[in-house]
Amino acid sequence: MKISCPVPLNKYDTVTLAHGGGGKLTDQLIHDLFIKELDNIWLNKTHDGAVLEMSGKVAFSTDSFVVNPLFFPGGNIGDLAVNGTVNDLVCCGAVPQYLSLGLIIEEGLRMDDLRKIILTIKEAARKANVKIVTGDTKVVEKGKGDKIFINTSGVGIIPEGIVISPERCTDGDVVIITGSIADHGIAILSSREGISFQSTIKSDTAPLNGIAEILFHITKDVHVLRDPTRGGVASALNEISRSSGYGILLDEKMIPVSDEVKGACEIMGFDPLYIANEGKLLIILPEVHAGNVLGEIRKHPLGKDAAVIGRVEGKSPGVKIKTLVGSTRIVDMISGEQLPRIC
Amino acid sequence: MKYIDEYRDINVINALATEIQKVVKQPWNIMEICGGQTHSIMKYNLSEFLPRQINLIHGPGCPVCVTSLEKIDKALALSQMKDVILVSFGDILRVPGSESDLLLEKSRGADVRMVYSPLDAVRIALDNPHKKVVFFAIGFETTAPVNALSIVRAKKLHLNNYFILSSQVLVPPAIKMILELENSSIQGFLAPGHVCAITGYNEYVALAEKFKVPFVITGFEPADILKGLLTLVLRLEEGRFDVTNEYKRVVSKNGNSDALEMVNDVFELTGQEWRGIGIIPLSGLKVSERYSEFDAEKHFNLDGLNTRESGLCIAGKILQGTCKPTDCKAFGKECIPEHPLGAPMVSFEGACSAYYRYQ
């Protein structure tokens, strides 16, 4: 006797505990949504893991994604989850290839929303040229999670001759940013309860392997790559400065910030240097390459506003900035989150 | 960015700096009252442009810093009550009370929410009819009108679940207190531009006459601040004790009469405790009798709280301008932004935080 689930997947409006129970509903969810959409030879085997052929130096990175709201101007948690790990691999100097996808879903998540997120993941993986080769789904009781949490891990091969590491930041290097900063953080804030404001600011979430490919085509003599996500450019550069022991001097007037983001920051009392980006790359490399690199990166749609924003100067760690008015001050790490000012 | 860039123009700044160098003859102790100005001075490191004769002293103009420990403890007590949603602005959530802070209580399960406007707190009250929503209304004359508006709106909506815990303070009484201190060394003031936009500056004219000190109403951009300082130094060198408005694009002599009318309707003057300083007579605003049903301190029983201040923190002296943050033994050691002992280390506008961050 063949027993099949009387209620097909599309009859469920929301994810239930049973979808994570390992039974029929889990199986349906995996086949009718994940495998159907993310389709590739590794995932389709529904084996316990993916068996991959790789040779050379492998970079391996993991990242977990929690974001409120799940859908925001310019993207959703799905693109963040793919691009986040892709970009971490890029910052190791690797060509991202394979990703895992772990979902922790709170029961009650709308099935439509889950489908939207998976379709976004599919599209983000296509754009970044990576495959989702293995995955896992758990469903937790209502109140034990916040709609959906995603973890992605990824691997990629580091081509011969590329050595990227924060300790390599040294005298005579310049700091390049591939575009305007703070878009992601402000887009999220603009859609959050209690602070929401109307704007057309969109998250910059994007995979950076295209830009990295252009970069390494020009030179492999790149010292540090970093995607300035949480904590923004200021925190990323402070970490690099601390690892290398070298100081970094930024030039405020060279830092690209869109007018809308600037305006929002003025009103809320935020400093864009501390606000998250999800599709920008900090490149630290010897000054001799800066001209060529900028010229080529600016031809890429994600790099059209690329600029040299600072230089590495002297063996005393810390980040400073030459302000718009010509004075110099310290740019410290931030403690906690920036909170909107009062008046 | 249009309308702002010209106030951050390096040529304008250099010209103003040169002019200040030219006119200053004697040493002057100058207080900028407003925390927003302190922040701007630090963010652009404007002291680099000033001659050594000018000693800038930071005033008590950070609303987070001067909110009394008692009110913070009351907010903490409210956050622990069943069916209460405590709502406030961002920075105040981090300020240490006697035992805890609001962000810590939020992490322990209290319903503490952050908004950008009190009108959002009214919205929360409307959306949660079975909860009591308390807006912790802190701030100076700048935020009082919108706090008042939130009560007017709640009344119009017939809400009986919206309350204000008021800790609103006024600038002129604090200036008077500072000038009456025995060891006060302040010779001139940059008056707070945004506060004067609401209140006008008649009260400052009276203070200038009574205490023989000049005031210059000043904005918040680097060029605004240097222009304010230039005018103030000119007045000091001339020995002219009056009020000059250098923030004309925003401030008029009589202020915003609609806003003032609403504030005077909803709130009334009260003696107010300033953290680290003490009670300053008639320096605060409390909910007036006409609107007493919206007063959290009347609706909830908040008696019997035990407030206890850290012994190390010298926030009071810093806020009165008799000490600099670096004079504090705990500065940068026991007291850092991740673990503030006193409020000036919490807020971006707080003098200690600004020193720690930018110097």
Furthest-apart CA atoms within chain A: distance in Å? 81
| Residue, of A6 and A266, whose pLDDT is higher | A266
The band of A342, judged by pLDDT with boundaries at 50, 70 and 90, is: low
The complex scores an ipTM of: 0.80
Q: Using CB atoms, which residue from B48, B116, B348 is nearest to A327? A: B48
Q: Using CB atoms, which residue from B49, B115, B138 is nearest to A327? A: B49
Mean pLDDT lowest for which of A81-90, A117-126, A186-195, B191-200? A186-195
Chain B CB contacts of A266 below 8 Å: 1, 4
Tens of pLDDT, residue by residue over A242-282, are 999 999 999 999 999 999 999 888 888 889 999 999 999 99
- Answer whether A59's CB lies under 8 Å from A92's CB: yes
Chain A CB contacts of B115 below 8 Å: 194-195
- The fraction of chain B above a pLDDT of 70, given in percent, is 98
Residue B190 lies in a domain: yes
Cβ–Cβ contact A143 with B under 8 A: no
Subunit contact B138:A194, Cβ cutoff 8 A? no
Shared domain for B174 and B281, answered yes or no, is yes
Shared domain for B33 and B143, answered yes or no, is yes
Q: Rg of the Cα trace of chain B? A: 21
Distance CA B151, CA B265 (A): 11
The band of A50, judged by pLDDT with boundaries at 50, 70 and 90, is: very high
Residue B356 lies in a domain: no
Subunit contact A343:B140, Cβ cutoff 8 A? yes
Residue A184 pLDDT > 90: yes
* b/e A262-278 (16+ beta carbons within 10 angstroms → b): bbbbeebbbbbbbbbbb
Domain that holds residue B347: 315-351
Residue B348 pLDDT > 70: no
Cis peptide before A69 (omega within 30 of 0): yes
Residue A343 pLDDT > 60: no
Phi, psi for residue A332 in degrees, rounded to 5 = -90, 170
Shared domain for B172 and B214, answered yes or no, is yes
Exposure of B312 by Cβ count < 10 A (0-12 exposed, 13-18 middle, 19+ buried)? middle
Q: Give me the pLDDT at residue A186, please.
A: 92
Subunit contact A341:B349, Cβ cutoff 8 A? yes
> Where is B281: in which H helix or E strand?
strand B278-287
Kindly provide the residue ranges of all beta strands, DSSP E only, lying in chain A, ordered along the sequence. 57-65, 71-72, 75-76, 95-106, 131-140, 148-158, 173-177, 224-226, 247-251, 282-286, 307-312, 318-322, 328-330
Subunit contact B64:A342, Cβ cutoff 8 A? yes
Q: Give me the pLDDT at residue A9, please.
A: 54
Chain B CB contacts of A192 below 8 Å: none
Shared domain for B91 and B207, answered yes or no, is yes
Cβ–Cβ contact B89 with A under 8 A: yes
In angstroms, the separation between the Cα of residue A333 and the nearest Cα of chain B is 8
Residue B156 lies in a domain: yes
Residue A7 pLDDT > 80: no
Residue A194 pLDDT > 90: no
Distances (CA, A) of A121 to A164, A165, A210: 28, 29, 18
Q: Give me the pLDDT at residue B242, please.
A: 97
Q: Give me the pLDDT at residue B262, please.
A: 96
The band of B357, judged by pLDDT with boundaries at 50, 70 and 90, is: confident
Distance CA B187, CA A45 (A): 80
In angstroms, the separation between the Cα of residue A55 and the nearest Cα of chain B is 45
| Residue, of B52 and A343, whose pLDDT is higher | B52
As for how many domains chain B has, the answer is: 2
Residue B102 lies in a domain: yes
Cβ–Cβ contact A22 with B under 8 A: no
Q: Give me the pLDDT at residue A335, please.
A: 66
Q: Give me the pLDDT at residue B266, please.
A: 97
Residue A2 pLDDT > 70: no
| Residue, of A191 and B29, whose pLDDT is higher | B29
* b/e B186-222 (16+ beta carbons within 10 angstroms → b): bbbbbbbbbbbbbbbbebbeebbeebebbbbbbbbbb
Residue B185 lies in a domain: yes
Residue A106 pLDDT > 70: yes
Subunit contact B1:A268, Cβ cutoff 8 A? no
What is the secondary structure of A66-84 as a DSSP string? --SSSEETTEEHHHHHHHH
Subunit contact B44:A262, Cβ cutoff 8 A? no
> Highest-confidence range of A49-63, B3-17, B55-69, by mean pLDDT?
A49-63
Angle made by CA atoms A300, A305, A307, in degrees to the nearest 5: 110
Residue A8 pLDDT > 60: no
The band of A339, judged by pLDDT with boundaries at 50, 70 and 90, is: low
Residue A64 pLDDT > 80: yes
CA B213 from chain centre, in angstroms, equals 21
Chosen for mutation from A196, A325, A337 (greatest number of chain B CBs closer than 10 Å) is A325
Shared domain for B320 and B287, answered yes or no, is no
Shared domain for B181 and B124, answered yes or no, is yes
Q: What is the mean pLDDT of residues B312-335?
A: 88
Closest chain A residue to B140 measured between Cα atoms?
A343
Cβ–Cβ contact A268 with B under 8 A: yes
Measuring CA to CA, which residue among B224, B223, B150 is closest to residue B191?
A: B224
Side by side, the strands of the sheet bearing B112-114 are B112-114, B84-88, B132-139, B162-169, B278-287, B267-274
The band of A193, judged by pLDDT with boundaries at 50, 70 and 90, is: low
Shared domain for B187 and B248, answered yes or no, is yes
Subunit contact A342:B138, Cβ cutoff 8 A? yes
3-state secondary structure of B354: helix
For the entire predicted model, the pTM comes to 0.87
Cβ–Cβ contact A269 with B under 8 A: yes
Cβ–Cβ contact B139 with A under 8 A: yes
Residue B302 lies in a domain: no
Subunit contact B90:A341, Cβ cutoff 8 A? yes
What single-letter amino acid sits at B270? T
CATH number at residue B259: 3.40.50.11740
The band of B351, judged by pLDDT with boundaries at 50, 70 and 90, is: confident
Residue A1 pLDDT > 80: no
Tens of pLDDT, residue by residue over B181-238, are 888 899 999 999 999 999 999 999 999 999 999 999 999 999 999 999 999 999 999 9
Shared domain for B207 and B325, answered yes or no, is no
Q: Give me the pLDDT at residue B193, please.
A: 95
Shared domain for B290 and B341, answered yes or no, is no
Mean pLDDT lowest for which of A18-32, A155-169, A284-298? A18-32
Subunit contact A342:B8, Cβ cutoff 8 A? no
Residue B145 lies in a domain: yes
Distance CA A264, CA B146 (A): 20
Mean pLDDT lowest for which of A86-95, B59-68, B125-134? B59-68
Mean pLDDT score of chain B, rounded to an integer?
Answer: 93
Residue B62 pLDDT > 90: no
Distance CA B349, CA B356 (A): 12
Subunit contact A268:B116, Cβ cutoff 8 A? yes
CA A192 from chain centre, in angstroms, equals 19
Q: What is the mean pLDDT of residues B125-147?
A: 96
Measuring CA to CA, which residue among B69, B10, B99, B103 is closest to residue B277?
A: B69
> Where is B114: in which H helix or E strand?
strand B112-114
Q: Give me the pLDDT at residue A100, please.
A: 98
Shared domain for B253 and B123, answered yes or no, is yes
- In chain A, the domains with their CATH numbers are 10-158 (3.30.1330.10), 166-330 (3.90.650.10)
Q: What is the mean pLDDT of residues A17-38?
A: 91
- The fraction of chain A above a pLDDT of 70, given in percent, is 93
Q: Using CB atoms, which residue from A323, A342, A343 is nearest to B44? A: A323
Chain B CB contacts of A327 below 8 Å: 44-46, 48-49
Mean pLDDT lowest for which of A123-132, A183-192, B81-90, B343-352? B343-352
In angstroms, the separation between the Cα of residue B109 and the nearest Cα of chain A is 12
Q: Give me the pLDDT at residue B289, please.
A: 96
Q: Give me the pLDDT at residue A15, please.
A: 93
Tens of pLDDT, residue by residue over A273-323, are 999 999 999 999 999 999 999 999 999 999 999 999 999 998 889 999 999
Residue B194 lies in a domain: yes
- Answer whether B306's CB lies under 8 Å from B98's CB: yes
Give the number of A-B residue pairs with CB atoms closer than 8 Å: 96
Cβ–Cβ contact A198 with B under 8 A: no
- Answer whether A34's CB lies under 8 Å from A15's CB: no
**In A, residues 297-326, which contact B (CB 8 Å cutoff)?**
323-326
Chosen for mutation from A252, A259, A339 (greatest number of chain B CBs closer than 10 Å) is A339
Q: What is the mean pLDDT of residues A110-123?
A: 97
Chain A CB contacts of B357 below 8 Å: 330, 332
Closest chain A residue to B87 measured between Cα atoms?
A194
Q: Using CB atoms, which residue from B45, B49, B143 is nearest to A329? A: B45
Closest chain B residue to A325 measured between Cα atoms?
B10
Shared domain for B327 and B269, answered yes or no, is no
Mean pLDDT score of chain A, rounded to an integer?
Answer: 92
Shared domain for B217 and B78, answered yes or no, is yes
Q: How many CA atoms does the CB half-sphere of A269 hold within 13 Å?
A: 21
Subunit contact A330:B357, Cβ cutoff 8 A? yes
Q: Give me the pLDDT at residue B95, please.
A: 87
Q: Give me the pLDDT at residue B233, please.
A: 98
Q: Using CB atoms, which residue from A323, A336, A339 is nearest to B114? A: A339
Q: Give me the pLDDT at residue B277, please.
A: 85
Tens of pLDDT, residue by residue over B224-247, are 999 999 999 999 999 999 999 999
What is the secondary structure of B39-91 as a DSSP string? HHHHHTTGGGGS-TTEEEEEEEE-HHHHB-HHHHHHHHHHHTSTTEEEEE-TG
